[in-house]
Amino acid sequence: MSNNEIKKCDSTIIHEDVVNKVKENMPPEESLYNLAELFKVFGDSTRIRILYALSASDMCVCDIAALLDMSQSAISHQLRILKQARLVKYRKEGKVVYYSLDDDHVNQIFAQGLEHVKE
């Protein structure tokens, strides 16, 4: 790297060419924000366990609560978040509401994550 690129860090930048090039290719702010929001949904062990359970079988709220040994209210709140993120869908049968995964990507994202965790 040439010395004339060096500037004081706090005021400007060191490698102006690199920064400019990367900046040009950055996706729109909104895309990365949405991506972070999606991963935020995956970033809670209760929701992860719900998603994993649903990848094994469709289940009603009550069963999920029993499976995870948590209150029905807590599960219902989390299902709402998963629903808003379009990660789960539901069908009603009388009083009972059955939830299931709403997206093929869920399993793939899971798999990729597990690859990293394993080691």
Partner DNA sequence: TGAATACATGAATAGATGTTCATATGTACA
Partner DNA sequence: TGTACATATGAACATCTATTCATGTATTCA
Applying CB under 8 A, the residues found at the interface with a second copy are 9-10, 12-15, 18-19, 21-23, 25-27, 31-45, 47-49, 52-53, 56-57, 59-60, 62-63, 65-67, 72, 86, 96, 103, 105, 108-110, 112-117
CA nearest 65: which of 41, 88, 49?
49
Smallest separation (angstroms) from DNA to the CB of 73: 3
Smallest separation (angstroms) from a second copy to the CB of 118: 8
Among a second copy, DNA, none, what binds residue 69 when CB lies within 5 to 8 Å by partner kind? Answer: none
Tokens at 83, concatenated: 């629903």
What whole-number distance in Å separates Cα of residue 65 and Cα of residue 70?
Answer: 5
Query: What are the DSSP E strand ranges found in the chain?
Result: 59-60, 88-93, 96-101
